[in-house]
């Protein structure tokens, strides 16, 4: 457990390092050179659709010139590190919408946002998120058809919902029910099975958030509410065991937790 806590602390230190010590951050992407040069981005959106057009024009619709300039800079830096396909405006994992959320969560600091992107990219590489994204797109999967998700909710009921706040921001709501069968769950799912299922859900969430946010003219942020008021948070988290800190690196949105009273 001490090793897990220390690793989480190191992640937080790398992302939130003070400005005067920023030059000491040496986060390097674990992307092989072939992938960086020749990788082909998986396009989730049909060319010419409203979503594709909104993604392509997202940056130009940001009214604040300083924010727009910082977003362009972050995109250039990310392309240098991960390759042009990573920042493709429509097909790229780090499209303008997603990069803007990195900026927002790092107080519009380009260097801190870049460090967060690298850490997130490394986590995506480790957990094979690109392969999950590819399967979702090619098989046109929904929450109901994600691998093992129907079985998953039999043991741990949840409702992955998405809407918007009063100011128009995209808002994800994930509610864990109070009828979770932890004994049956533990027998049916290994830790890695659990992690894979959760990350499939998160990847689909982020694809939908990208699309919804791009189409909007305001409210570019994305928050998630994890409602654990009807379930045992300790048991949920213990199921993920030592994977928890690394799994969280795959999540880039601001999250709010509602805990049991």
pLDDT tens, 88-124?
999 999 999 999 989 988 999 999 999 999 999 998 9
255 has pLDDT over 50: no
Q: Looking at the structure, do residues 144 and 121 belong to the same domain, yes or no?
A: no
Domain residues for the domain of 27 are 2-130
Q: Give, rounded to a whole angstrom, the gap between the first and last alpha carbons of the chain.
A: 26
Same domain, 120 and 203: no
Overall domain count for the chain: 2
| Residues 240, 220 share a domain | yes
166 and 121 fall within a common domain? no
pLDDT tops 70 at residue 240: no
Please report the pLDDT score of residue 10 as a whole number: 53
Is the domain of 214 the same as that of 173?
Answer: yes
**Radius of gyration over every alpha carbon of the chain, rounded to an integer in angstroms:** 18
Residue 109 and residue 173 in one domain: no
Distance (Å, rounded) from C-alpha 143 to C-alpha 91? 21
Q: What pLDDT score was predicted for residue 226? A: 62
Is pLDDT of 17 > 70? no
| One domain for residues 77 and 162 | no
Domain-terminating residue out of 69, 103, 130 = 130
What are the tens digits of pLDDT across the range 189-233? 888 898 899 899 889 988 988 888 888 755 555 556 666 666 565
Strands 222-227 and 170-176 come out as parallel
Specify the higher pLDDT residue, 100 or 249.
100
Spatial distance between the Cα atoms of 39 and 85, rounded to a whole number of angstroms: 7
Rounded to the nearest integer, the mean pLDDT of the chain is 75
Out of 81, 102, 130, pick the residue that ends a domain. Answer: 130
pLDDT reported for residue 205 = 85
14 and 99 housed in the same domain? yes
Q: Is 75 helix (H, G, I), strand (E, B) or coil?
A: helix
Q: Are residues 181 and 107 in the same domain?
A: no
* pLDDT for residue 4: 42
Are 12 and 124 members of one domain?
Answer: yes
Residues 52 and 107 in one domain: yes
46 and 74 both lie in a single domain: yes
Mind listing the pLDDT tens digit for each residue in 75-96? 999 999 999 999 999 999 999 9
* Paired residues of 227 in beta bridges: 175, 258
């Amino acid at each position: 457990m001490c090793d897990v806590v220390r690793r989480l602390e190191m992640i937080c230190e790398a992302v939130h390092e003070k400005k005067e010590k920023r030059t000491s951050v040496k986060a390097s992407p674990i992307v092989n050179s072939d992938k960086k040069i020749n990788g082909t981005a998986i396009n989730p959106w049909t060319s010419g659709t409203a979503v594709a057009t909104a993604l392509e024009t997202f940056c130009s619709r940001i009214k604040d010139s300083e924010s727009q300039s910082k977003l362009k800079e972050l995109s250039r830096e990310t392309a240098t590190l991960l390759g042009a396909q990573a920042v493709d405006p429509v097909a790229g994992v780090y499209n303008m919408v997603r990069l803007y959320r990195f900026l927002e969560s790092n107080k519009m600091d380009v260097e801190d946002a870049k460090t967060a992107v690298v850490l997130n990219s490394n986590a995506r590489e480790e957990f094979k998120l690109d392969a999950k994204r590819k399967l979702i797109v090619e098989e046109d999967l929904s929450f109901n058809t994600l691998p093992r998700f129907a079985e998953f909710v039999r043991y741990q009921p949840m409702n992955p919902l998405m809407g918007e706040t009063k100011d128009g921001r995209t808002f994800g709501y994930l509610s864990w029910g109070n009828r979770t069968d932890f004994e049956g769950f533990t027998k049916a799912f290994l830790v890695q099975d659990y992690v894979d299922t959760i990350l499939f859900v998160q990847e689909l969430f982020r694809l939908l958030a990208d699309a919804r946010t791009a189409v909007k003219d305001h409210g570019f942020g994305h928050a998630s509410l994890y409602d654990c008021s009807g379930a045992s948070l300790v048991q949920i988290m213990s199921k993920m065991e030592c994977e928890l800190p690394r799994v969280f690196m795959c999540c880039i949105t601001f999250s709010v937790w509602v805990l049991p009273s």
